[in-house]
Amino acid sequence: MSFRDDKITLLNYNPFAVHAVTETRTYVIDACIDENNPTFVNVSFSDIEYINSHSNAFRTGLLFFKDSQKEEIYKELSIFDWKNILTNKDIKENLLNPTMAGLKRLLAVKDVVTFDRIYSILISLQNSNSYDISNRVIKVIETRQKEIRRKIFNTEIVLQERDTTPVQKQEDVNELKAQNKEMSKKLEEMQMMMAELIKSQQSTEKTSKNTKKTTTVEKPKKVAKSKSAK
């Protein structure tokens, strides 16, 4: 096949360097800084065959091929389900916009290298300070990481619907609660002010009535008419 005589480009989308060991040398593919511009190295097809026979780098999505080459290469390597390989974009999407199906797919990962990739992407998203990740999702991934380290390959984590609550939705709920609390506080203050005002008015009216009761008005005395002498 044509690509056997050409150089094949290996792509690294990971936020860490990948070492690709071949029969004659080890290629170090630098960490990827921009997910849209992966780091890469050009190798021979014989190197590809050696890497594939000694690791799962291509089967698990640790390394990828250029779009123009991938289908032909995957078929040659007998990787027939290549369209279902977990990509970093898949991982990112499942972390930022969690669904039950998406989280289950991440939790179903059993090999250490692939889950380390998931965990490293989570850490990278957190450190960027550019994304909001649900605390529940973080807890789920951290718990699964501990399971993998303890060689628990079939997860014991039971997902709940609340684990997939979008961050923005939760923030909206919290904001609404805060607004309602503030409104309740202001309403309570207004009620207290009204009560004080009414109390003050009632006190003024009472004082006014008492003043009317105790105030007497003296009527003018009649002047006696004097009789004239006859």
98-154 per-position pLDDT tens digit = 999 999 999 999 999 999 999 999 998 998 888 889 999 999 999 999 999 999 999
> Does pLDDT of 167 surpass 90?
no
Domain count, the chain: 2
Residue 67: per-residue pLDDT: 93
Token pair in block for residue 14: 């990971």
Residues 118 and 141 in one domain: yes
Percent of the chain having pLDDT more than 90? 59
Neighbour tally for 203: CB within 10 Å: 10
Residue 207: per-residue pLDDT: 60
Residue 229: per-residue pLDDT: 46
- Which residue, 64, 82, 100, sits at the end of a domain? 82
- Which residue, 38, 60, 82, sits at the end of a domain? 82
Residues 92 and 74 in one domain: no
Residues 54 and 104 in one domain: no
Residues 106 and 166 in one domain: yes
Q: How far apart are CA 213 and CA 201, in angstroms?
A: 19
If we measure between CA atoms, which residue out of 61, 152, 139, 164 comes closest to residue 108?
A: 152
pLDDT band per the 50, 70, 90 thresholds, residue 192: confident
Q: Is residue 214 part of a domain?
A: no
pLDDT band per the 50, 70, 90 thresholds, residue 155: very high
The pTM assigned to this predicted structure is 0.67
Residue 230: per-residue pLDDT: 45
Which residues does 156 contact at the CB level (< 8 Å), separation at least 6? 147
Residue 161: per-residue pLDDT: 81
Local structure of 69: helix, strand or coil: helix
Residues 45 and 139 in one domain: no
- Which residue, 39, 64, 82, sits at the end of a domain? 82
Residues 101 and 177 in one domain: yes
Look up the domain containing 8 and give its range: 1-82
